[in-house]
Amino acid sequence: MEYLVPIEWGKCTKLQRQTLLTRPKTTSSMNVEQTVFNILNEVKIHGDKALYDLNIKLDKISLTDLHVTSQQISASSMMIGNKLKKAMKNAFDNITTFHQAQILNLVDLETQTGVRCQQITRPIKSVGLYIPSGSAALFSTVFMLAIPARIAGCKNIVICSPPPISNEILYAANLCKITEIYQVGGSQAIAALGFGTKTIPRVDKIFGPGNVYVTEAKKQISQRLEGIEIDMPAGPSELLIIADNNANPEFIAADLLSQSEHGPDSQVILLTTSLKLATKVATTIKKQLINLKRKNIIIQSLNNSLIIVLKDLQECIELSNMYGPEHLMIQTSTPRNILKLVNNAGSIFLGPWSPESAGDYASGTNHVLPTSGYTKTLSGLSIIDFQKIITVQEITAQGLMNLSSTIETLAAAEKLDAHRKAVSLRVAVLKEKV
């Protein structure tokens, strides 16, 4: 079977070009929307009982306690080998280092004499972190969410993950000093975090990726009257690679396959100036695919994916910016020359020695990124997502005297007389003291 047969952009019609980069349709449907709607209401009305019932119905697990005890969290350390512990600690350290550097510098200045303005940050008090655990326990997501939440200063950090929660997830949470962990997954976990139950507290903002039901639940709960803030819209994973004729086809094939294994609706794209490279990559994909464990998932993803041959790198960049990928790899002779031309991407990987897997796990950057073209307006997760920015102003008497004419003139021009009087009354008091 042929996968990713190279397409020559120059030979495509205008209509073909318009439809080529259309993202695959997700499995979301009216049925998913209604199912999620019903689950949200069930949890809102019946609380913990609904969570226990849904654990049995959906995850086939009967629990006596949703809460993971501190003893269970501590015991996870005994169930993990030293090699994995060492790797997890290395990733933890790198992610911590990068996110600590994101702490905003204090803004504190006089915009004019006697007018002091500041920008300060305050943490979101309570956050809920959803950690997926379907065909694979994504313990790396614990680091990507809990580390910036800790650095931001969030006081209450709650994790929800489908039962049974793996020892790897518990150990990652332990490294991040998270002790409030609950065994509940899917849209019911989002409902619990959004509404609160007797056991699980309501949070102020929900973070984390998930399947189509989790995504739909986050969308619905954020739109309710009593709704809650969410991190960002989440869709199927994406990777786009820009490569010239000097790129290594073995590397490119491996990178495309690595992102394809996230799910059947993932999409990977190669944009290249070389038909020879494109053909070699397509051949190499078939060879590398044979022994991969998630082969069936990858094949479905490859059916959504593309290799496109363009006339030059400028055309590749323009097409990439139009698509706005979640992950962008630049495997060209001088990748930094291209970097300055990239406007839309969630996370960028430069050169042959920067696999996308590094960003997923251990380089230090965050792997929670906008998808579905949202990179045109949204950024990847950072500590600022766990904080609020507050501005402060303090004006001296003389400072107000100096600024008053400007304020009064502008307020009068906007016909906001009360605004003007709030200043003029003060000015009158100051003039009486002179």
Q: Is 182 marked as binding a ligand?
A: no
Q: Is 360 marked as binding a ligand?
A: yes
Q: Is 259 marked as binding a ligand?
A: yes
Q: Is 222 marked as binding a ligand?
A: no
Task: Report CA-CA distances (Å) from 51 to 28, 161, 182.
Answer: 23, 12, 11
Q: How many CA atoms lie less than 13 Å away from 199 in the CB half-sphere?
A: 24
338, 315 in Cβ contact below 8 A? no
Give the strand pairing for 306-309 and 387-395.
unpaired
Q: Which residues contact 389 (CB under 8 A, 6 or more apart)?
A: 104, 119, 120, 121
- In terms of Cβ atoms closer than 10 Å to its own Cβ (0-12, 13-18, 19+), residue 271 is buried
326 is catalytic: yes
Q: Is 419 marked as binding a ligand?
A: yes
Buried b (16+ CB within 10 A) or exposed e, 221-250: bbeeeeebbbbbebbbbbbbbbbbeebbbe
HEC string of 150-175 equals HHHCCCEEEEEECCCCCHHHHHHHHH
The helices-and-strands tally (H runs, E runs) of the chain is 17, 14
Residue with structure tokens 């120059």?
A: 10
Cis before 132? omega within 30: no
Catalytic residue among 168, 327, 356, 367: 327
Catalytic residue among 168, 238, 326, 356: 326
Q: Is 99 marked as binding a ligand?
A: no
Q: Is 323 marked as binding a ligand?
A: no
Amino acid identity of residue 417, one-letter, is D
327 is catalytic: yes
Q: Is 130 marked as binding a ligand?
A: yes
Known binding-site positions: 130, 188, 211, 237, 259, 262, 327, 360, 414, 419
User: Would you name the residues annotated as active-site residues?
Assistant: 326-327
Known binding-site positions for NAD(+): 130, 188, 211
Known binding-site positions for substrate: 237, 259, 262, 327, 360, 414, 419
Known binding-site positions for Zn(2+): 259, 262, 360, 419
